[in-house]
């Protein structure tokens, strides 16, 4: 009796690696919290110091709006929004500029 061997292709190695190229959910959450914490530092700055930082206009407007908000829930949502905006910004440059201000 002869055996028939069928060719079964190996799964592509690139497919397996693609799964691990993305940051984990925990890493994404840490990055989001770090961006939000940086945004909270920006809210606490004086306006003169805030202007010196390399920030896009959208972030500046969001920080100024957060300063005007008095309601706790609204302020929390605004901080989350600032954190979302900060994810698209070069935070290393902002952190370096903040270090120079201190």
Model's pTM, two decimal places? 0.74
The answer to whether position 52 is within a domain reads: yes
Residue 84 lies in a domain: yes
pLDDT reported for residue 13: 54
Q: Give how far Cα 25 sits from Cα of 10, 46, 54, 96, Å.
A: 29, 34, 29, 27
Examine residue 2 and state whether it is found in any structural domain, yes or no.
no
Query: The domain that contains 46 carries what CATH number?
Result: 1.10.60.30
pLDDT for residue 16: 55
| 23 found inside a domain | no
Residue 38 falls within a domain, yes or no?
Answer: yes
Look at residue 3 and tell me if it is in a domain.
no
Question: Which residues lie closer than 8 Å to 34 by C-beta, 6 or more apart?
Answer: 91
The answer to whether position 72 is within a domain reads yes
77: domain range?
Answer: 31-101
- Taking the chain (102 residues) in consecutive chunks of 10 residues, what is each chunk's mean pLDDT? 65 59 90 92 95 94 97 96 92 92 85
Q: What is the total count of domains within the chain?
A: 1
Residue 20 lies in a domain: no
pLDDT value of residue 9: 65
């Amino acid at each position: 009796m002869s055996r028939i061997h069928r060719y079964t292709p190996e799964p592509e190695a690139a497919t397996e690696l693609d799964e691990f190229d993305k940051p984990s959910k925990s890493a994404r959450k840490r990055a989001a919290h770090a961006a939000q914490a940086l945004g909270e530092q920006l809210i606490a700055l004086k306006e003169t110091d805030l202007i010196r930082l390399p920030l896009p206009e959208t972030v500046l407007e969001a920080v100024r709006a957060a300063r005007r908000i008095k309601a706790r829930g609204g302020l929390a949502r605004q901080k989350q929004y600032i954190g979302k905006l900060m994810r698209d910004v070069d935070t290393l440059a902002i952190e370096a500029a903040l270090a120079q201000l201190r």
